[in-house]
């Protein structure tokens, strides 16, 4: 505070300040038409995008630069039709970092190694539309929309296992994995149900009446629940992972489809295709509705390596990268602060007494009095708020007498840390010198004013 010609050092947004999301980059997808599914590879920190109509996979680095465009087979546009991806996230696996791509027209699973080459193409069921990797049993699960089953591929051998495919309900369109116990959840869109298998591929149960047209299932580690998105009635259904029962519902925007977990803030993001918004769900199922950052489709993922969200904009053949504003909009100052600071630069004030009143339980615990010298160096003096704590009617108050005699003139500032969701009111008693020109530019008179806020 009070520094002249210096930007106030305000913290960047906290992870939960989702209102401070902004599109930080729009990446054109070269040689890519109709981008759909997105996955982030923990082994090489690269982002993979499935381009449905061009039959390619675009690979981006964490700086959103294109690393490679991978051509899938067959090469004729529309004949492979990649729509969804998954990645081998088990670090002990010999195929750690391999990416699995379902090709919905070719009826195959393409496997991409860490050298970014297609190392295998495996036949699966009819019209594969979703894929998920199971880190517990090292299997890959593919939902086959037309053949009403799930193909199971051994992630190490890259072959279909004995007993595959597994039967499902009508029109399976989404697959979700519980990475804790390896249970598999299949969204049966026309049956309005969820089929559940355990990690040995034994049928556990079928959860009925999961909304209208469930399309995707996502694990939420913040509360150990599965969340199923029902697109036709605009709801998300929370499923308890021990009993496999629906224990909560959350209304969304129009036509929700994909969802993904953001490990930076612990929120679940639901993409609403019809109104191009996010519904953002906290671990307690409270939500934030209506945030809009470009077109929403079926592709979205969180990149923990740069704390950004990647969303496919199919209409414009681009990827919208969503980050945070540089300065948090949740940190604000009273409206007359800029005028006061400017006045003190022209008419310095000598502090007589200072009181900090904080709303919230946490105390201020870091304060520095910084003085800027003509040579550009900073002389910094630490002051402990704990020495001046003055509880008054359970208020969080500190009367910092050590600031008495210091000057507010733009050459000195106050630097402290304010805990999140707290407000501080600073009461300053001071004497101000108002400099007025009396006779000439070199002849001035000082008039002392006593002021108390």
pLDDT one-digit tens code per residue, 36-75: 999 999 999 999 999 999 999 999 999 999 999 999 988 8
**Predicted local distance difference test score (pLDDT) of residue 318:** 92
**Predicted local distance difference test score (pLDDT) of residue 327:** 63
**Predicted local distance difference test score (pLDDT) of residue 388:** 81
**Predicted local distance difference test score (pLDDT) of residue 103:** 97
> pTM (2 decimals)?
0.76
Separation in Å, CA 442 to CA 55, 421, 445, 446 = 78, 49, 10, 13
- Residues 227 and 217: beta-carbon distance below 8 Å: yes
Place of tokens 């690393």: 67
Q: Express each pLDDT in 267-324 by its tens digit.
A: 999 999 999 999 999 999 999 888 888 888 899 999 999 999 999 999 889 999 998 8
The domains of the chain, with CATH numbers, are: 18-324 (2.130.10.10), 337-451 (no CATH)
Q: What is the DSSP string of 321-371?
A: EEEE-SS-TT----TTHHHHHHHHHHS-EEEEEEEEEEESSSPP--EEEEE
Residue ranges, the chain, pLDDT below 50: 437-453
């Amino acid at each position: 505070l009070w520094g002249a010609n210096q930007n106030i050092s305000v913290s960047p947004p906290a992870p939960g300040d989702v209102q401070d999301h902004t599109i930080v980059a729009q990446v054109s997808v070269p040689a890519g038409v109709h981008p759909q599914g997105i996955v982030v590879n923990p082994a090489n920190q690269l982002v993979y995008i499935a381009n449905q109509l061009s039959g390619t996979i675009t690979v981006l680095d964490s700086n959103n630069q294109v690393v490679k465009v991978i051509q899938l087979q067959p090469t004729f546009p529309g004949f492979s039709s990649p729509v969804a991806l998954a990645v081998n996230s088990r670090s002990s696996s010999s195929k750690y970092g391999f990416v699995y791509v379902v090709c919905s027209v070719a009826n195959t699973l393409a496997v991409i190694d860490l050298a970014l080459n297609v190392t295998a193409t495996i036949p699966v069921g009819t019209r594969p539309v979703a894929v998920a990797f199971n880190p517990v049993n090292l299997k890959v699960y593919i939902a086959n929309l037309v053949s009403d089953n799930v193909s199971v591929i051994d992630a190490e051998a890259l072959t279909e296992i004995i007993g595959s495919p597994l039967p499902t309900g009508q029109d399976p369109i989404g697959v979700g994995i519980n990475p804790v116990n390896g249970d598999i959840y299949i969204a049966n869109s026309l049956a309005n149900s969820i089929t559940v298998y355990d990690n040995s591929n034994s049928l556990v149960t079928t959860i009925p009446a999961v909304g209208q047209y469930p399309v995707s299932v996502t694990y939420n580690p913040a509360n150990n629940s599965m969340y199923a998105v029902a697109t036709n009635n605009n709801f998300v259904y929370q499923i308890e992972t021990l009993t496999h029962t629906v224990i909560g519902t959350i209304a969304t925007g129009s036509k929700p489809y994909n969802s993904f977990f953001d490990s930076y803030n612990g929120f679940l993001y639901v993409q609403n295709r019809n109104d191009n918004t996010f519904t953002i769900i906290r671990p307690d199922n409270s939500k934030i509705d209506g945030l809009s950052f470009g077109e929403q489709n079926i592709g979205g993922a969180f990149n923990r390596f740069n704390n950004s969200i990647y969303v496919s904009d199919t209409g414009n053949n681009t990827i919208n990268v969503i980050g945070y504003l540089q300065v948090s909009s949740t940190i604000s100052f009273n409206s007359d602060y800029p005028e006061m600071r400017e006045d003190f630069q022209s008419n310095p004030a000598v502090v007589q007494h200072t009181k900090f009143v904080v709303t919230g339980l946490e105390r201020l615990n870091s304060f520095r009095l910084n003085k800027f010298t003509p040579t550009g160096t900073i002389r910094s003096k630490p002051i402990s708020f704990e020495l001046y704590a003055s509880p008054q009617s359970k208020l969080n108050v500190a009367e910092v007498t050590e600031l008495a005699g210091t000057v507010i003139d733009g050459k000195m500032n106050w630097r402290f840390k304010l805990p999140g969701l707290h407000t501080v009111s600073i009461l300053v008693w001071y004497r101000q010198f108002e400099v007025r020109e009396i006779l000439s530019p070199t002849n001035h008179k000082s008039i002392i004013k006593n002021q108390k806020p």
